[in-house]
Structure 1
């Protein structure tokens, strides 16, 4: 089964590049099948990692950035891949 972990944070206004740099420096323990980093308006950064694991597996995630870098707590979601039609 393939599981996708999504991690999304919103930087303090004008600090999107700092948050992006912080994310790129973070190592994820283990070896995800894939890792992708995306950005969006309003200084948002999204990280998606894909794992070959059970849905409820204990998987490593990125930590919370320092409070002076983000406007709120990180949002996290877990998804299970499903077969396409």
Structure 2
């Protein structure tokens, strides 16, 4: 089963570049099959990682929560199973 983990955060006012660099610098315990990092208006940063897993709820390395002063709200996280 191929899973995609989605991590999305909104930076504190004017700190989008810093949050983007923070996300780029994160090292996971294991390397995913693939990782992509995106940015969007309102200083949002999105990180997608792809993994081979035995189950939807498999234990996989995830990006941590950044320091509270760097973000405006808790990080949003979702899991998706590839269907194709």
**Gap runs ≥5 in structure 1:** none
1:28 to partner: Cα distance = 1.2
Q: TM-score, normalised by structure 1?
A: 0.95
Instruction: Report what 1:71 is aligned to.
Output: 72
Deviating beyond 4 angstroms after TM superposition, the runs of 4 or more aligned structure 1 residues are none
**Gap runs ≥5 in structure 2:** none
Q: Distance in 1 between matches of 2:29 and 2:36?
A: 15
How many residue pairs match? The answer is 83
SS in 2 for 1:68: helix
Which string of whole-angstrom CA distances, capped at 9 and with x for unpartnered residues, describes residues 16-41 of structure 1?
Answer: 00000111111011121000000000
Q: Distance in 2 between matches of 1:35 and 1:27?
A: 11
| Backbone CA RMSD of aligned residues | 0.6
